[in-house]
Amino acid sequence: MITRKHKHLLHQIIPERYRLMLHPDLERFTFRGEETAYIRLRKPMRVITFHAKDIKVLKAEFRQGRKAWKPRRIYYIPADEHANFEFGESLPKGKGELYLEFSGVLNDQMRGFYRSRYEVNGKTHYMATTQFEATDARRAFPCIDEPAAKAIFDVTLIIPKGQRAISNTHETSAREHSSGFEIVEFAPTPKMSTYLLAFIVGRFEYVERKTKEGILVRVFVTPGKKKQAMFALDVAVRSMSFFHKYFGVPYPMPILDMIAIPDFSAGAMENWGAVTYRESMILFDDKHSSLANKQWVALVIAHELAHQWFGNLVTMEWWTHLWLNEGFASWIEYLAIDHLFPKWDIWMQFVAQDWAEAMHLDALGETHPIEVEVTHPDEIGEIFDAVSYSKGASLIRMLAEYLGERDFRNGLRHYLKKHQYANATTDDLWAAFEHIAKKPVRVMACGWTKQAGYPLVTVQESGKQLVLRQSRFCSSSVTAARFKNDKTRWSIPVGIQKVGKKRPSYVLLQDRQTSFKRSLFGRQFKLNSGAIGIYRVDYPVTLLRALSPLIGQQKLSVPDRLSLENDAFSLAKAGRVPTVAALALAENYLSETDYNVWLDLAGHLGAIENLISGETFDGAYKNFARSLFAPLARSMGWKSRRRESHTATLLRSLALTQAGHYGDRVIIETAQKLFRDVIIKKKHLDPNLRGVVYSLVAKSGGLREYRILRRLYQRATLHEEKNRIGRALGFFRETGLIKETLQFAVSDHVRKQDAAGVLSAIWYNHKGRELAWSFVRKNWLMMLKRYGHGGHILPRIIEPAAQFQTIEKAREVERFFKTHKAPGAERTIRQILERIYSNAAWFERDSAHIAQWLEVRQNKNK
């Protein structure tokens, strides 16, 4: 393969500026383009190579001053996504212009230059829009499509009259073109990477407001949705001011646009000055949106706007350093939202979401280091995962703590100033911190980015000493056996929280094992204080016993309570402590009041429910789980209290969902009644309760409820509402209805971007998993056609297969993917297999003990 040889086209050619004119045809779904690329050849060459994919070059010419060369031959290397222009003689090195005319297809794959469907007054229309990250600018125009190949772009769009064109910068002119068309020119962009370019053509309404600093922020939506854009506008305006102050660098353009796109494969995309979103990630409806969604919208906006600096102004040198973008943005979105909405207690959600997610994924043998070599576009697409995002974010959080707020922020400012309009590597970030903080950052940090996985810290008491030992943590005994001789070591700042003390103290664990004076720790202590560190802790039984009662007495902080049970359940799954010990620990949380602790617990309890589903004692397990959630659900009730806290509202939905799921009759019946009130009496249902109501109605319902929900899906205009109902459609228990939902998910009624959500609900339904799996197998070609080739939806379609629990299933999955390609999902498949084998071993080891423990417990409670 030639692929590896030209890893970087930038080694041959430096692009400086692209003049670009695009003319989408919204009826035929094609486009035409005209381009002048101002480039510099680093040496004389006969063949100019650009990235291009699914583009037909109609005309090409290379110009240097008054001289012009026509290529002798234009040929494509599809495997490399290259277009080659071969000239009859060697072109002289230095500056020149490559002039091109080309055509392409406005595809329905949600990548490159594509089309998206929308309705206005019952009439269907299409817009043209772009999604270029990571490597799809080359689908819209030939270019050097690498993040380090920064250039200036002068964009011109030819659009149907009466429609609107949006691009990264503001419009400088709009003139009549040939009959019925308009030609719109945009100001030159800042020097930037190709993946950040965007152009959108369609019918839009917008709302606007200026920031304190004078930046005009606009939010564009398809006609009729203007009201739902107000919340996003407010968050954006305030976030821009926050980042302006925090980074100490102004936003370089007069306008920032945000656009809601009905068909969108990711969640949102930070195109410089023209940020695009899925509708569900930007729209907020006062009457119909849940608080959970509101919070999510705010976080997503803060994330994308942080990229306007961290990512757009300073960009990673290559995708190996993707985490600089995504890990950082995934951290600072919380900082910004905490500032904007101090009552949301958002940092705790960081622990339950990102920290826990990172620890979950990165405990696999089939994980990867944060910094990982990637070449092929499919490989690049694969690393937009929880390692780059959540582990990256957790590392940033750990460092911010280690450096202290001031040095951390000043380090960032130094980094942005130094590398603005250019590129940077992970090492450059460490250098910036060292420059400011005068602390050895690199040696501490690089272990976390260059090595896969994270450590388990084992505590041992030995006389007047406490011995801390580190080794790589594996989420399964099967994997642990493979990593038996693993020598990876990390530099771990171990936070010690002495009970009753305000602030934690730190010791540094660098070697495999270190002894510390017992007195450093006090009588009662918890390690990894605040769940700041990326590591787990294994306590000796005596210490753990001493910690347990502190949970109920709330003598530990929220993150400490969360990480204590999170560690316990993870160690149980790994075979390091009995699962029944974790279940017993969970009983200490009966009086827990924190939403995030419950959220995390619910996940672990659900994993065990899944493990033993179909066993004779599965009813006893449900009783146990119900005994935890039912009292909580009762105390929360169905009605929100006046002026209750933000997380109380979130906790209510969670508690009711869980208690109902584990079979609380009263709660299920109330859900059914609320549903009837909506259908028959047309009563308004609190959007925070809709998820619970729909899901419990589906879980306990039949054909009648099914038909009603299907009708509601069709009628819903708010995307968020469609998603809620779509998931519920996957929760029915009857085979016939599940099969119908499977067909429905891939029908014209469900947008391609939303099908994964519906399918995933079926995968997680114990009655549906086998059906989902055989549906996906039977329709694999269709799945590939819809989502294949490096998109990030394909992995999501199969990921839930990791819930299977038997060796036979693992073999079945393995066999299937031996003969069926899954481009861009290869690592996901290896992770699925590892998880299934892990479940099988877990079941084998612990299920009988769980059964016994449940029986004893039930007898005790009689």
Look-up of token digits 């370089």: 252
- Does 321 participate in binding ligand BES (rule CB under 6 A)? no
Report, in Å, the least distance between residue 384 CB and Zn ion: 8
Query: How far apart, in Å, do the first and last CA atoms of the chain sit?
Result: 69
**Contact with ligand BES (CB under 6 A) among 300, 601, 692, 794:** 300
Report, in Å, the least distance between residue 381 CB and Zn ion: 14
Distance separating alpha carbons of residues 626 and 590, to the nearest angstrom: 11
Distance separating alpha carbons of residues 552 and 563, to the nearest angstrom: 15
Distance separating alpha carbons of residues 825 and 836, to the nearest angstrom: 16
C-beta closer to Zn ion: residue 326 or 600:
326
Asked whether 236 and 340 are in contact (CB, 8 A), the reply is no
- x/- track of binding to Zn ion for residues 304-343 (CB under 5 A): ----------------------x--x--------------
Residue 221 has φ and ψ, to the nearest 5°, of: -140, 160
- Does 294 participate in binding ligand BES (rule CB under 6 A)? no
C-beta closer to ligand BES: residue 145 or 326:
326
- Does 266 participate in binding ligand BES (rule CB under 6 A)? yes
* Residue 300 contact partner, candidates ligand BES, Zn ion, none, CB within 5 to 8 A by sort of partner: ligand BES
Asked whether 571 and 474 are in contact (CB, 8 A), the reply is no
* Residue 597 contact partner, candidates Zn ion, ligand BES, none, CB within 5 to 8 A by sort of partner: none
C-beta closer to Zn ion: residue 346 or 712:
346
Residue of minimal CB distance from Zn ion? 329
- Does 133 participate in binding Zn ion (rule CB under 5 A)? no
- Does 267 participate in binding ligand BES (rule CB under 6 A)? yes
Which residues have C-beta within 8 Å of that of residue 669, sequence separation ≥ 6? none
Report, in Å, the least distance between residue 195 CB and ligand BES: 8
* Residue 267 contact partner, candidates ligand BES, Zn ion, none, CB within 5 to 8 A by sort of partner: ligand BES
Asked whether 84 and 48 are in contact (CB, 8 A), the reply is yes
Report, in Å, the least distance between residue 691 CB and Zn ion: 26
* Residue 792 contact partner, candidates Zn ion, ligand BES, none, CB within 5 to 8 A by sort of partner: ligand BES
**Contact with ligand BES (CB under 6 A) among 268, 572, 602, 798:** 268
* Residue 268 contact partner, candidates Zn ion, ligand BES, none, CB within 5 to 8 A by sort of partner: ligand BES
Asked whether 281 and 215 are in contact (CB, 8 A), the reply is no
C-beta closer to ligand BES: residue 266 or 432:
266
The Cα-based distances of 327 to 312, 386, 394, 399, 744 in angstroms read 14, 9, 8, 12, 36
Report, in Å, the least distance between residue 267 CB and Zn ion: 9
β-pairing, 73-77 vs 216-221, is unpaired
Given the rule CB under 6 A, which of 29-37, 81-89, 297-305, 535-543 is the region that contacts ligand BES?
Answer: 297-305
Collapsed DSSP state (helix, strand, coil) of residue 387: helix
Distance separating alpha carbons of residues 625 and 583, to the nearest angstrom: 10
* Residue 263 contact partner, candidates ligand BES, Zn ion, none, CB within 5 to 8 A by sort of partner: none
User: 304 catalytic, yes or no?
Assistant: yes
User: How many other C-beta atoms can be found within 10 angstroms of the C-beta atom of residue 514?
Assistant: 16
For residue 361, which of 834, 757, 760, 806 has the smallest C-alpha distance? Answer: 834
Distance separating alpha carbons of residues 411 and 56, to the nearest angstrom: 46
Given the rule CB under 6 A, which of 266-274, 660-668, 670-678, 809-817 is the region that contacts ligand BES?
Answer: 266-274
Q: Which two tokens stand for residue 765?
A: 């339904």
From the candidates 304, 326, 382, 592, give the one annotated as an active-site residue. 304
- Does 282 participate in binding ligand BES (rule CB under 6 A)? no
Report, in Å, the least distance between residue 445 CB and Zn ion: 21
Residue 551 has φ and ψ, to the nearest 5°, of: -65, -55
Report, in Å, the least distance between residue 284 CB and ligand BES: 15
* Residue 718 contact partner, candidates ligand BES, Zn ion, none, CB within 5 to 8 A by sort of partner: none
Residues in the chain: 862
**Contact with ligand BES (CB under 6 A) among 225, 238, 303, 751:** 303
- Does 269 participate in binding ligand BES (rule CB under 6 A)? yes
The Cα-based distances of 298 to 41, 404, 645, 780 in angstroms read 45, 26, 17, 36
Distance separating alpha carbons of residues 738 and 768, to the nearest angstrom: 6
Residues from 782 through 811 that contact ligand BES (CB under 6 A): 792
Distance separating alpha carbons of residues 725 and 729, to the nearest angstrom: 6
Asked whether 371 and 321 are in contact (CB, 8 A), the reply is yes
Q: Where on the chain is the footprint of Zn ion (CB under 5 A)?
A: 326, 329
Residues with catalytic roles = 304
Q: Where on the chain is the footprint of ligand BES (CB under 6 A)?
A: 133-134, 266-270, 300, 303-304, 307, 326, 329, 384, 792
